[in-house]
Chain A
Amino acid sequence: MNIIAKHRQLVTPGDLVAEGKFRAGQNVIKLNGDRFYATVLGSFEIKDRDTLSVRALRGPYIPRRGDKVIGKVVDISMGSWTVDIRAPYEATLPAGRFPARINPVFDDIRKFMGADDFVYAEIAEFDRARPPILDATLNREYGLIRQGVVIEVEPTRVPRIIGKKGSMIQLLNRELGSQITVGQNGRVWVRAPSPEAVSNTVSTIRLIEAEAHTQGLTSRVEERLKTLKNASQKVATENKE
């Protein structure tokens, strides 16, 4: 029982992380007997005392059932939309799973959503044997995105943008007056009361993305929000004068 890598240490593929009786979790493999190696670039973690895993720094988005994603319509066929969800597989959103009364025989589904439109939906089915199926009827917030800005971030850094139980999103929403929706696939939908608020929100999300693997991120984000707030107040008072 010998753990070689430290908790949260940056490891690269092929790095020996531990030797002995452990279990290989995500992105860790067992080779050469009881030796455990990292398979991706990321930070090393020990969970449940004996499960070794590596949280990838970069990598593709792999859909999972129940994930809330922001997709982009790439193609339209008779009864469904083909949606890019930034995964290796293109998703399908059937007309019947779109939150509107559509009769696929009479209606042209283009009326509801066209190419390059963004849609917020949930992965209803996916098992790697068939392409993912989306559903936009399971929650009232799902559907066509009509306003705001959609930006793309590294899918592996989504958890840091959301924060523990949504703490980071709540912090941004509270301090910047914006409304942020984060898709698990690395697209972020930003709505904010003013263009400045949008750009402040986007730049703060970029900061979180760039420093997702560092510690003490929340305090740095708080600090940044404070300076942004002061700057905007200064502008406001100057305008009054």
Chain B
Amino acid sequence: MVEAADSGSKPLLSPDGIRTDGRKIDEMRKVKMEVGLLKNCSGSAYIEQGKTKIIVAVHGPREAHPKHLAQPGRAILRTRYHMAPFSTSDRKSPAPSRREIEITKVIREALEPAVMLDEFPKTSIDVFIEVLQADAGTRSAGITAAALALAEAGIPMRDMVAAVAVGKLEGRVVMDLNEEEDEHGQADMPVAMMPNVNRITLLQLNGRLTRAEFEEGLSMARRGVDQLYEMQKQALREKYTSSEPAQEED
């Protein structure tokens, strides 16, 4: 087994493949999803992935303001990834950081191929991604929740988008890093996919992977995305089936 590069005495992965939080190498953190919790928007979603907690609100399609941004033949998709000041242990300045601006861009590009923007010319669809508690994997969880919120808003999509990060600890490829693993691990690779179209809409890599590790990571990400994809559909269905008897009472 390779020695941990810089994490000192405490290994991130035990020799029998158990991680610091007790997960196996290909095990995702516990995920909870919910849709339709906000009222002042077209669609909303909430996701918990381990200790990461994110809420997403979608507005639109609505008239694009300022007007010069509007495109004559399609809607524009605008995103905002933002971390709440209380989302980290040290206060995070509420002003958008360099990192948040970048993540805003990559999330927009991860969602754009899925949303059928040409259905609503001259409008804008705004996606607000607010990280309430950050524990690694916020961009991928943000994408997963944003796709859910778009679906709940009734905006047509070619496919849902789901995302998960894979990484490398002690020389082994693992699924869905948490904060500690992200900080001290050897690599972090978030992947977003549209499973039906079999298309990758986001792929980033921080660290080094060999070609074999990359291949392994990508297929592991695919398995994670498939799990999340099913959960997304379940969350949407649940909102409109299980809640019915309760509404009948009033």
A residues with a Cβ closer than 8 A to B are 10, 12-16, 27, 29, 31-32, 37, 39-42, 56-60, 88-90, 128-129, 156, 203, 207, 210-211, 213-214, 220
Residues of A within 8 A of B158 (CB): 13-14, 29, 31, 37, 39
* Interchain CA distance A37-B195 in the complex, whole Å: 12
**B151 with A89: CB separation less than 8 A:** no
Per-residue CB proximity of B229-250 to A under 8 Å, as 1/0?
Answer: 1001100110011001001101
**A213 with B240: CB separation less than 8 A:** yes
Closest 8 CB pairs of A and B: A59-B154, A58-B154, A39-B156, A88-B61, A14-B159, A88-B123, A13-B157, A12-B233
Residues of B within 8 A of A210 (CB): 244, 247
CB distance from B125 to the nearest CB of A (A): 9
Given A15-B233, A88-B62, A90-B63; A57-B159 close (CB under 8 Å): no
**B61 with A60: CB separation less than 8 A:** yes
Which listed segment binds A: B96-104, B114-122, B127-135? B114-122
- 8 Å CB interface, B130-162 against A: 151-160
CB distance from A124 to the nearest CB of B (A): 19
**A13 with B160: CB separation less than 8 A:** yes
* Interchain CA distance A220-B248 in the complex, whole Å: 10
Given A88-B63, A89-B123, A90-B63; A60-B42 close (CB under 8 Å): yes
Interchain pairs with CB closer than 8 A, number: 94
* Interchain CA distance A157-B175 in the complex, whole Å: 42
**B61 with A14: CB separation less than 8 A:** no
Given A31-B158, A39-B158, A214-B244; A12-B61 close (CB under 8 Å): no
CB distance from B226 to the nearest CB of A (A): 12
The majority secondary structure among interface residues of chain B is mixed
Residues of B within 8 A of A29 (CB): 158
**A40 with B197: CB separation less than 8 A:** no
- 8 Å CB interface, B196-236 against A: 196-197, 229, 232-233, 236
**A12 with B151: CB separation less than 8 A:** yes
Residues of B within 8 A of A32 (CB): 196-197
Residues of B within 8 A of A128 (CB): 121-122
Residue B60 CB within 8 A of the other chain: yes
**B196 with A58: CB separation less than 8 A:** no
**B160 with A89: CB separation less than 8 A:** no
The interface centre, meaning the residue of A10, A13, A32, A156 with most chain B CB atoms within 10 A of its CB, is A13
Residue B43 CB within 8 A of the other chain: yes
The interface centre, meaning the residue of A27, A40, A57, A88 with most chain B CB atoms within 10 A of its CB, is A88
